[in-house]
Amino acid sequence: MAQCLFCRIAAGEIPAQKVYEDDAVLAFRDINPQAPVHILVIPKAHVESAACITPENSHLVARCFQVIAQLGSQLEGGFRVVSNCGPNAGQTVPHLHFHLLGGAQLAVQMA
């Protein structure tokens, strides 16, 4: 999608602090971090949200989680993965993405 912020980042049109990239997935540092380590992991192909995962695109989610496992294994003490789905859940960019959070003791309550 030409106007999608994350599609434009994946296409290299908008700069990002990349921490991982392959043909299907991009991981980059969040510009408004909520933890000492806050990385966004996205499929390069546009999928609007977790509500739009289908049998045809679910391999992208699996690949994202392989990357999350790889990056998360470098974080001592564990990590959290969050995906907001829809505006009421806090999704501000309509492109499937996973927040990888870590680097400190995270709050138990997430509300």
38 is catalytic: no
- Rounded distance between C-alpha atoms, residue 74 and residue 49, angstroms: 27
pLDDT at residue number 1: 65
Task: Decide: pTM greater than 0.85.
Answer: yes
Amino acid code (one letter) for 9: I
Edge-first strand order for the sheet with 79-82 is: 18-21, 25-29, 37-43, 98-102, 79-82
Cβ distance 63 to 19 under 8 Å?
A: no
**58-86, pLDDT tens digit by residue?**
999 999 999 999 999 999 999 999 999 99
Query: Residues 38, 95, 97, 99: which is the catalytic one?
Result: 97
Q: Looking at residue 56, what is its pLDDT?
A: 97
Res 111: pLDDT:
63
